[in-house]
Amino acid sequence: MSRDAFASLLAPGSFVRHPDEPDWGIGQVQSVVGSRVTVNFEHAGKRTINIAVIDLDMVDAAALSR
What is the CATH number for 41?
2.30.30
Does the pLDDT at position 66 exceed 70?
Answer: no
pLDDT digits (tens, 9 = 90+) for 5-57: 566 689 999 999 999 999 999 999 999 999 999 999 999 999 999 999 999 99
Containing structural domain, residue 16: 3-59
- Domain assignment present for residue 52? The answer is yes
* Whole-number pLDDT of residue 21: 97
* Whole-number pLDDT of residue 9: 80
Largest distance between two CA atoms of the chain: 33
How many structural domains is the chain composed of? 1
- Domain assignment present for residue 64? The answer is no
Q: Taking the mean position of all CA atoms in its chain, how far away is CA 4?
A: 14
* Whole-number pLDDT of residue 2: 57
* Whole-number pLDDT of residue 64: 78
What residues contact residue 60 under an 8 Å CB cut-off, 6+ apart?
A: 15
- Output the DSSP codes for 2-34: -HHHHHHH--TT-EEE-TT-GGG--EEEEEEET
- Domain assignment present for residue 47? The answer is yes
What residues contact residue 21 under an 8 Å CB cut-off, 6+ apart?
A: 41, 44
43 in Cβ contact with 23 (< 8 Å) = yes
- Domain assignment present for residue 8? The answer is yes
Q: Report pTM.
A: 0.86
- Domain assignment present for residue 32? The answer is yes
